[in-house]
Amino acid sequence: MLVPKSHIAAQSATAYRAVVKKGPLSTDKDKVVQIQRVGKRVSAATEKYLRQHGYGDLASQLNWEFNLIENEQQNAWCMPGGKVMFYTGILPYTQDDAGVAVVMGHEIAHAVAGHGAERLSQQLLLIGGAVAVSELAEDSEYRDAYLVAYGLGGELAAILPYSRLHETEADQMGLIFMAMAGYNPQVAVEFWQRMAAEKNGVMPAFLSTHPSDKKRIRQLRKFMPETMQYYNPAQ
């Protein structure tokens, strides 16, 4: 972690507002309400989980926001501080609230686990080596690195993928978050199977940073017995 948490928080808020301003935000009321409805439940479950496991300080720093951009890109992401963005292009794959919860939980897990901050540190090492972060902070390459690290670089030449460890952690934590929110975690297997079946020859942005394969689905099934203990369908 080469970047102070305070700096990441400030950059996150600035970057998120820029994305919202650029938009265009979806005007489909039903879809927007769905993202916000699921977001409210999964975020509440996430805070509950964090407090139960001794991360109350982190939970108190989360200032949630959920938005939906009208764009065919099949993508979603969450920045530090709880800033979540979905793209309408991924909704045909999520299909319903439970499917949205799969993506929501997974992306929130990446954020609260600090995976984006680790990717940002990797990017800074590639760009500046031993150059001080304070110097890079004012550099345009640093800003590009920030966008790439948090999955906002769909228009950039390359998006740095999460490591396998990051993906496994986000899968496992995401299942728990959605289960605690009252969504059946078994739906996650079906979602990733739909994403893996993409056959139009174009790699979805979501898969470029979140590789989907048979191993991932096997791992999801392996996590399921433990995860189902958190599932409360009465939510």
User: What is the distance in angstroms between the CA of the first residue and the CA of the last residue of the chain?
Assistant: 37
List CB contacts of 67: < 8 A, sequence separation 6 or more. Answer: 20, 25, 35, 84, 85, 86
Dig out the tokens for 83 from the structure: 């800033």
Burial 45-79 (b: 16+ CB within 10 A, else e): bbbebbeeeeeeebbeebebbbbbbebeebbbbbb
Q: Is the peptide bond before 92 cis (omega within 30 degrees of 0)?
A: no
Residue the block writes with tokens 């739906």: 187
User: Interior CA angle at 96 toward 94 and 100, to 5°?
Assistant: 50
Catalytic residue among 107, 167, 198, 226: 107
Contact assessment for residue 94 and residue 145, using Cβ atoms and an 8 Å cutoff:
no
Tell me if residue 47 is catalytic. Answer: no
Helices in 181-231 by DSSP H: which ranges?
Answer: 187-196, 205-209, 214-228
Cα 41 to chain centroid, rounded: 16
Active centre residues (catalytic): 107
